[in-house]
Each structure stands twice: as structure tokens, then as C-alpha cells.
Amino acid sequence: MVFTLRGSSYKTRGIAFYCILVFIILVGTHVVLSTTHEQYGRMTSISRIAPWTRPVSWANGPDETRKVPPTTINQIEDHRPQEWHHPQLGQENATFVILARNYEYKDLAQTLRQLETRFNHKYHYPYTFLSDEPFSEEFKEWTSLAVSSKVQYGLIPREQWDPPSNINLTLADELGRKLQANGAIYGDRIPYKNMCRFNSGYFFRHELVQKYRYYWRVEPSVNFFCDLNFDPFTYMREHDKTYSFTISLKEFENTIPTLWNTTKEFMAEYPELIARDNAMAFLSNDGGDTYNLCHFWSNFEIADMEFWRSETYMKWFNFLDMKGGFYYERWGDAPVHSIAAALLLPRSRIHFFNEIGYKHSPFEHCPQGDVHEKGRCSCKQEHNFDNDWYSCTARFHSLFSLF
């Protein structure tokens, strides 16, 4: 019995020795490959493995295809070449533009997965992320893993973000507190006003965006409900559309008390810039004397940036900027874009994308009938905001029936 135990002991030691030897060989091979083959090192690095071990919060629902980020790994582009993204299949010079903060990475990743599942997995249009502060590695890791295509991350220059020199910040702060006290949401928030001004006059001039013609604006925590079986960028080009939307509604009047009077001043000074077949009837119930507060909700928009970059639009933006209303009041980019599109473009160049089911809480556009079925939409048709009293979409449709 003793001999048998000793024999077993010798045999066990021999097996252990060979296991340790194999382990040492494997580790040594990994070290050699990591140091001599850059691509192998990147693919097996801890930074690539770590995100998969983190808890991931993905909302349950029909648009959720995975509980973890997708298996396709994208090399993050932060002013350096990408190697792991899919080549663009869409035919247009277009990008998704996303203004976001570092803490929004989880909500944004969920939105991006829906957008990929419903549309971009077939086209691989690139993503452009912008912020006034450097993006964290965590933000870049989560967002790059959520998409199938090229990504780039841009820092907004201070001269495009901060209040201009003609703004009296002491006065802006005083008036902002009064706005907030009177119920004007974000009325005292300078960072929010910076964002509105940037979206109104600068995002299309950012160095990472300038090379593109079309953009699709995306925000964190929004939902895309329907399969999109065509390319909206191509639709815009082929049908000579400049601006498009999915939701329209009335603006809070206390955020823009002097915007319409400023608009009338602009029209009087530059009558030649007002389009002959414009959409004034969308903005005003009395031929332009007063503003009915209707605007396109710009947290979703697909548009041709050649319009924003045009001399016509820049005259409009610069006129508003000199008035100071972005800071002395709280002029949002939604009414600024909407008034410009309605007055400076022929109405035929504004398009409503009925097929794109979309929600930015608390409002949503849910396609009806055959469009809902064809798009395999996950929204409830009875939740459609289009016919709500606060919506302006029915007015937009009636505008075309008048002519």
C-alpha cells in the first residue's frame, strides 16, 4: 500500500510538472507575440477585455438585441487611425452628430444600439461625438463598442462654446435668475445656453464635421422604434430636401420673449433673403404679425449642412447673436433652426420623416397603420403625439394642402 501511494505521488508530481511547463510556454509565447505583433497586443490587452466584465445596463424591449455590447470590436479613433470599423456602405457624405457629456455613456450606448439595429448596421455611416470637455476612456469604450462604424471624438474650441465678448455676463446672470423664477426652464444655466448657441451657429463648422454635407442629430436616452428600410440621407439628396423632422410642438414663450420681434427686424432688413414660397403659415396664424410658437424639435433632425453654412443662414445667426438673446433670454436652437428653415427655404424643402419612429421623453412620433407594420415598430400607435393639441405636425401637413 505504501508503495502504491508513493507511485501515485510520483505520477502526480510528473503531471503537475508538465502542466507547469505548458503554462510557462503559453505565457512566454503570449509575451513574445504581444511585444512583436502590435495587432495581437491590442486585441488581447486588458483594456479590451475589461469592458465585458463591467455591469451593463440595457433597457428591456423589442429593440434590445443583446445584454452586452456587440461582438464586433471597433478601434477607437481619437485623432488616430481606425483599424477595426466596418467600411461605410451608405452612399452619402453624411455623419451622425452627437453632443454629449461623459456621464451619459450608458444611456447613449443604449440609444446607439437601437439606431444600429434599426438602421445603421446596413449602412455603417460614421459617428462624430462632440463635447466641450475631453471624452473619458470609459465614454469612448462604451460608445465605440455600441456601433458598427467609424467613430471620432472632438473637443469643442472655447471660442465656439463660451459666451462671446459682447455679452455682459453680470446682466446675463441677473436676467437668467429672473427667467428661472418665472418658470423658464434652464433660464439661468449658462452651459445650457452655450449649447443652444453652439447648435445654432457652430456645430457645422467644427473641424471634424466640416468634411460632411449631411448630418443626423442624435441625443442620449432617445428611442428609435422602427426598421428604416431606406437611406434618409439619399432621400434628402434625391428629393431636394434640406431640413427634416419627426416631432414638432410649441416653444415655451417665456424663453424667447423678443425672438419674434427680432425675426421681424431681420425680415425688414433682409427682405431679399426670405424665400418666395416659404412656410410662414407654419410659424404664424396671422401672416407674420405674431409667432404661434410652432417649431421643429431639433433633438432629432436630418439636414443638409450646406444650408447652415450658407451666407443666408449665417446672416440670420449673426443677426441673432448680436442681439444677445441666447444669453439675456434663452433662445433655443430648435426655434432658431425652425424659423430659419421656414422663412429662408421654400416650404417644399422641409420634410417630415413619418417612417422614423422616435421618442425624446415625454413626446414620441409613432407611425400609424401600414407604416407601423412595415417598419416592425415597437411603439404603441395610440401613443403618437402628432395629433395632440400641443403638437404642430398637423399644422405642417395642412400647410401643404393650402397650396
Q: How far apart are the first and last CA of the chain?
A: 105
How many residues can be counted in the chain?
403
Tell me the CA distances in angstroms from 328 to 132, 190, 257, one per residue in order. Answer: 22, 10, 10
Q: Are 151 and 74 in contact (CB under 8 A)?
A: yes
Confidence of residue 15 (pLDDT cuts 50, 70, 90): low
Give the cell for residue 310: 450658407
Dist CA 108 CA 59 (whole Å): 12
The number of CA neighbours under 13 Å toward the Cβ of 78 is: 13
Question: In angstroms, how far apart are the furthest CA atoms of the chain?
Answer: 110
What pLDDT score does 399 carry? 85
pLDDT tens digits, one per residue of 231-266:
999 999 999 999 999 999 999 999 999 999 999 999
- Asked if the model's pLDDT at residue 37 lies above 60, the reply is no
Which among 92, 251, 301, 329 is annotated as catalytic?
A: 301
pLDDT tens digits, one per residue of 272-301:
999 999 999 999 999 999 999 999 999 999
Q: The whole model's pTM is what?
A: 0.80
Confidence of residue 19 (pLDDT cuts 50, 70, 90): low
Q: What b/e sequence results for 71-110 when a residue is b if at least 16 CB atoms lie within 10 Å of its CB, and e otherwise?
A: eeebbbbbeeebeebeebebebebbbbbbbeeebbbbbbb
What pLDDT score does 28 carry? 57
DSSP 190-241: HHHHHHHHHHHHTGGGSTTTTT-SEEEEE-TT-EE-S---S-HHHHHHHTT-
- Give mean pLDDT, residues 18-25: 56
What pLDDT score does 70 carry? 37
Q: Which residue has the higher pLDDT, 11 or 151?
A: 151
- Give mean pLDDT, residues 134-161: 94
What pLDDT score does 29 carry? 53
Tell me, rounded to whole angstroms, the distance of Cα 369 from its chain centroid.
28
Q: Are 335 and 392 in contact (CB under 8 A)?
A: no
Give the mean pLDDT of the chain.
Answer: 85
Give domain limits for the chain. 87-399
- Give mean pLDDT, residues 135-146: 93
Tell which residue, 238, 235, 242, 232, has the closest CA to residue 348: 242
159 annotated active-site? no
87-399: CATH topology: Spore Coat Polysaccharide Biosynthesis Protein SpsA; Chain A (3.90.550)
- Give mean pLDDT, residues 312-335: 98
What pLDDT score does 85 carry? 74
Q: Which residue has the cell 503554462?
A: 23
Residues 225, 226, 231, 232, Cα dihedral to 10°:
-60
Dist CA 122 CA 75 (whole Å): 19
Would you call 296 helix, strand, or coil by DSSP?
A: strand
What pLDDT score does 223 carry? 97
What pLDDT score does 314 carry? 98
pLDDT tens digits, one per residue of 99-125:
999 999 999 999 999 999 999 999 999
DSSP 86-143: PPP-S-SSEEEEEE--GGGHHHHHHHHHHHHHHTGGGT---EEEEESSPPPHHHHHHH
- Asked if the model's pLDDT at residue 74 lies above 70, the reply is no
Of 53-57, 176-180, 192-196, 382-386, the least confident:
53-57
Confidence of residue 35 (pLDDT cuts 50, 70, 90): very low
Confidence of residue 26 (pLDDT cuts 50, 70, 90): low
Confidence of residue 25 (pLDDT cuts 50, 70, 90): low
